[in-house]
Amino acid sequence: MTDLLQILAAGIGTVAFGALFGVPSKYYPYCGLIGASGWAVYVFLWMRTGFWSEAVVVFLATVLVILMSRFFAVRERCPVTIFLICGILPLVPGAGIYWTCYYLVTGQLDEASTRGFSALKAAVAIVLGIVFVFEIPQRFFKGKAVRKNDKL
C-alpha cells in the first residue's frame, strides 16, 4: 500500500511541478504518468528487490522516463523538455545532496562522503540515461502519425 502511495505522490508532485514550470494544462496527465512510471521503476527495482545498485536503478528509471517523454512529445507535437524536466523530478537526488551538506556541517565526514558519492552516482546515472535515449534516432518514435493536411 505504501508503494502505491509513493507512486501516486510522485505523479501528483510531477503534475504540481509542471504547473509551476508553466506546462500547458492539457499535458498534465502525461507529465503525471511519466513521473509516476519512473518512480514505480525505482520503487520496484530498488526498494523491493535490492538486487542492483541505486545508480543502476536510477539509470533504468531515467531511460523509461526519457523514452516516454520522447514518445509523448512526438505524439503531441510539442517539445520533449515539457515532459522530460517534469518527469525526471522524482528521480533527482535532492535528499542525498541535503544529507551530504548536513553531515558536512555537523562534522560527520565519513557519512557525508558516503551520501555525497551516492548522490553523485545517481546524478551521473540520470545524465547517462538522458544521453543514451537521446542518441536513438527520432524516426523510432514517429510511428504512423496522421498529419492535419493529409486525407484519410
Terminal Cα-to-Cα distance of the chain (whole angstroms): 46
Report if pTM > 0.95.
no
546515472: which residue's cell? 125
- The answer to the question of residue 147 being in a domain is no
How confident is the model over 29-61, as pLDDT tens digits?
Answer: 999 999 999 999 999 988 777 678 889 999 999
Looking at the structure of the chain, the number of domains it has is 1
504547473: which residue's cell? 19
Going by the DSSP 8-state scheme, the letter that residue 52 receives in this structure is: S
> Given this model, what pLDDT does residue 149 score?
56
- The answer to the question of residue 96 being in a domain is yes
- Provide the CA 147 distance to its chain's centre, in angstroms: 30
How confident is the model over 95-125, as pLDDT tens digits?
Answer: 999 999 999 999 999 999 999 999 999 999 9
- The answer to the question of residue 51 being in a domain is yes
- The answer to the question of residue 102 being in a domain is yes
Helical packing angle, 2-21 and 81-88, nearest 10°:
140
Q: State which residues form the domain around 7.
A: 2-140
Q: Among the residues of 2-93, which ranges form H helices? A: 2-21, 28-42, 54-76, 81-88
